[in-house]
Amino acid sequence: MFFKKSDFYPVIAPLSGKVIALSDTEDPIFSGKVVGDGVAIIPGNGEVVAPVSGVISMIAPTNHSYGVTAYDGTEILVHIGIDTVKLEGKGFTPLVHKGQEVEVGQPICKFDLDLIRHEGFNATTPVIITSNSIDNVKRLTLRTGFVEGGKSVCMLYALEKKR
């Protein structure tokens, strides 16, 4: 089956850095695609932007993880670092609140990259289409290499057509 460019929706890199395969992350929950499918980004700075336009559907109590539900209903999870929940919010500053509408590229969180590394955590950030949404995706194209947060596409997805 052939896909037109218009069949795909872009997910913009929520932070600048190097994109790696999700399977290369150190966390088996993410590498095993238990919570969804996507990519991971080794961050170059501590700013996270909205990967799609939509609504902030989830902010972890420790501010290390954000869900953005696109207007097409697809939920994108940005999970800053591996096991960073153990920091109990230290070093994470949310710039949005749950239920807030956001535009792609809008800053949603600042985090202290040096603190994360100094505390011994891996800052690699999974960016995934959640398991709640992935069943509606008929095709997913993932990027590798370096990306610029808020500008570069890190994933493209096509949705199953509703009948």
Residue 151 has pLDDT above 80, yes or no: yes
Q: Would you say residue 91 lies in a domain?
A: yes
Q: What does the pLDDT look like over 44-81, one tens digit per residue?
A: 999 999 999 999 999 999 999 999 999 999 999 999 99
pLDDT bracket for residue 160 (50, 70, 90): confident
Say yes or no to pLDDT of 163 above 90.
no
Range of the domain at 35: 5-158
Residue 44 lies in a domain: yes
Q: How many domains does the chain have?
A: 1
Q: Which residues of the chain form beta strands (DSSP E)? A: 8-12, 17-21, 36-43, 47-49, 54-59, 65-70, 75-79, 92-94, 101-102, 107-111, 125-130, 137-142, 145-147, 153-159
For residue 152, being part of any structural domain is answered with yes
Residue 57 belongs to a domain = yes
pLDDT band at 2 (very low <50, low <70, confident <90, very high): very low
Place of tokens 């939920």: 75
Active site residue 79: yes
pLDDT digits (tens, 9 = 90+) for 72-95: 999 999 999 999 999 999 999 999
Neighbouring residues of 86: CB distance < 8 A, sequence distance ≥ 6: 121
102 band by pLDDT with thresholds 50, 70 and 90? very high
Residue 163 counted as domain residue = no
Which CATH number characterizes residue 30's domain? 2.70.70.10
Residue 158's CB is within 10 A of a number of other CB atoms, namely: 17
- 114-150 pLDDT, tens digit per residue, is 999 999 999 999 999 999 888 889 999 999 999 999 9
Q: Which two tokens stand for residue 146?
A: 């370096």
Any domain includes 53? yes
Backbone angles phi, psi at 76, to 5 degrees: -110, 130
Give the residue-averaged pLDDT of 30-46: 95
pLDDT at 6: 55
Is the pLDDT reported for residue 162 higher than 80?
no
For 6-21, what is each residue's pLDDT tens digit?
Answer: 589 999 999 999 999 9
Q: Of the residues 64, 79, 97, 118, which is catalytic?
A: 79
78: in domain = yes
